Amino acid sequence: DAEREADDVGLEILEKAGFSAGGMIAFFRRVGTLESSRGSASRPGFLRTHPRPAERARRAESQPTYPATPALNNADWKALKAICAKD
């Protein structure tokens, strides 16, 4: 329940900031895909008490839409990816 509440707070913060929840949804979808491909037994113990990523994505997707802008423009996103790719 605490994780669901944390997701709700995160979604509220995104909305108040005017940022799309798309990144949060994509993150949960990606984690769910990894978990599905590796099997649920590969899920770390501390995550076994958390809601499944697919459920978290569905809950986020079910929220009402609102006007939003990306947190980063294309140039800033490319710069961030380049920084993260450095050794």
Query: How many percent of the chain have pLDDT more than 90?
Result: 61
pLDDT reported for residue 87: 63
Q: Which residues of the chain have pLDDT under 70?
A: 39-43, 87
pLDDT, tens digit, for every residue of 37-60? 776 666 677 777 788 899 999 999
pLDDT reported for residue 41: 64
**Greatest Cα pair distance in the chain:** 40
Q: Say how far apart CA 28 and CA 31 lie, in whole Å.
A: 5
DSSP string, the chain: -HHHHHHHHHHHHHHHHTB-SHHHHHHHHHHHHHHHHH-GGGS-GGGTTSPPHHHHHHHHHTSPP---B-SS-HHHHHHHHHHHH--
